A and B are shown apart, each in its own frame.
Chain A
């Protein structure tokens, strides 16, 4: 969708991107980290994390609290840099390009994020969704309306809000606000969607809806989700990375394999709920 003023929110389909990856990089990992470490001041949050996020399916990042799972997620769209005195080492590659040396604004255009606590802007529902496209230069009302509807449908929120798009987003329930956050991120048509414990503030029913939506979205884009809820990870993820205290990557693989027969004893303990 290219508007008169040349702005666009077109993204290539997941199939085309997968083709490109296989042909040029001979890989199916859309994001690859290599010995990635991260520091807040002197405190090291992540240690030599090396993994590749597969382009297909949902990848869950798990681990006990304080293990750095959010830090890893927020490294993928360079949100960690908003805090003072941070430092990264190692590399992260996104579609073969060095993410840590990229223009962070461009990165965030392609890697969307849903936050732990719903954070709608104090604006109308429409303006919330249209915020991203507007950032990228789309001014045409009809195009915006089209994008808003499409995004709300993809986030399974359209039916509930289509009659009051002008209402303040703050009037929505917590679950609706979180789906609004998903729709807002989808409106710029990202290649990857990062979700930072999106259900931690929600009741079971709202959680269920988000999980269903997430599964559906995984058909069209890459989803990376941080969760401390084992059942949730089991339900929705295809791949799982388990971090342990100190920011060490202990296990990474398909969810079924890791859950059934973890290599490391510590991960087995964690998965059986003995700590964390």
Chain B
């Protein structure tokens, strides 16, 4: 980034002693400066756009590979209640998987939301400093465990235990998947909820305590309501993660494509259907397109939950002026 000697002119009479002309008007010097010093903004902007390009590629290709399903089965065919791609006649109804994903996700959230919020409240409001750090580290470690390990743990330890406990023919059920998913969603929900609680200004707490409220009353009546939209954001993001989780569910949910409300029966989710069947389909077949269409459903759910969660979290930030 050298600034050449001609930036200084030493003939005091001819012109100003310093050349400060804006580079657009500085002739050749300006041009050289642009090439040498002003390449950075456009280059970095281009490189920073790679996430957008990646997102665009995902949208384009998933939709492109899914689109033929509209011609092959029609929308009503795709939203049918039977999924039997290898039967004759083959059917490609996605509702069993949608129902499976919904069941497993809702049950997982029933477990993870209370635990996550409570852990967040503990970390943000109750725990002393050192315990706070330990608890946060544990949540971070839990979030770092690969999903295939969760699946393996569920398959080898949890499923047999549930099979014995409930006297089932198989331990691979919606319940097992929900428990595993709940544990997996816990760190996401807890750490985002903790962010939300921490974002509540201390003056709120002080005002409440000054009125004689106990710390618990303050948490319940002041901090939680003030952080409400952030907490909702955390829950929604946790939901998005649970819906999109593949390996763990694939390994423990039992993978029967059926519509059921019973947690003790096996179900197949959107993600596990794709993971399970994509390897066995011919590229370009109706089955292949149908699996990509499941991907479209997943992608839409993921983007919508993500957007909603961001919106709620942003609303919290706006409300408290940060």
Could you tell me which A residues sit within 8 Å of B by CB distance?
A: 2, 5-8, 10-12, 16-17, 19-20, 23-24, 94-97, 99, 101-103, 105-107, 109-110, 135-138, 191
Contacts and interface: CB of A to CB of B under 8 A. Distances in A.
A6 B7 contact: no
Secondary structure at the A interface, as helix, strand, loop or mixed, is mixed
B3 A96 contact: no
Secondary structure at the B interface, as helix, strand, loop or mixed, is loop
Nearest to B7: A106
Contact of A10 (B8, B12, B21, B26): B8
Given A11-B8, A23-B13, A105-B37, A110 B3 contact: no
Interface size class of B (residues with CB under 8 A): 20 to 34
A106 B18 contact: yes
Contact of A97 (B4, B8, B13, B18): B18
Contacts of A137: 1-4
B146 interface: no
Interface in B1-40: 1-5, 7-8, 10, 12-13, 16-23, 26, 33, 37
A135 B37 CA distance: 12
A275 B26 CA distance: 48
A108 B23 CA distance: 14
Contact of A12 (B1, B10, B20, B26): B10
Of A5, A24, A106, the most chain B CB neighbours within 10 A belong to A106
Interface in B35-90: 37
Contact of B4 (A6, A12, A94, A103): A6
Nearest to B2: A137
Contacts of A10: 8
Contacts of A12: 8, 10, 12, 17
B18 A8 contact: no
A95 B18 contact: yes
Contacts, number: 76
A97 B16 CA distance: 8
Contacts of B5: 2, 6-8
Nearest to A20: B12
A107 B12 contact: no
Given A7-B2, A7-B3, A106 B12 contact: no
A103 B17 contact: no
Interface of B: 1-5, 7-8, 10, 12-13, 16-23, 26, 33, 37
Given A10-B8, A96-B16, A103 B21 contact: yes
A41 B21 CA distance: 27
A95 B15 CA distance: 10
B1 A135 contact: yes
Contacts of A94: 18, 20
Contact of B2 (A20, A102, A103, A136): A136
A6 B10 CA distance: 15
Contacts of B33: 103
The 4 closest A-B pairs by CB, nearest first: A137-B2, A102-B20, A20-B12, A8-B5
A10 B3 CA distance: 12
A16 B19 contact: no
A102 B37 CA distance: 15
B216 to A, nearest CB: 41
A109 B7 contact: yes
Given A96-B16, A101-B22, A137-B1, 6 more contacts: A6-B4, A12-B8, A19-B12, A105-B3, A106-B18, A106-B19
A103 B23 contact: yes
A71 B166 CA distance: 72
Nearest to A138: B2
Contacts of B17: 12, 16-17, 20, 95
Contacts of A24: 12-13, 16
Contacts of B3: 7, 105-106, 109, 135-137
A11 B22 CA distance: 20
A206 B20 CA distance: 36
A2 to B, nearest CB: 6
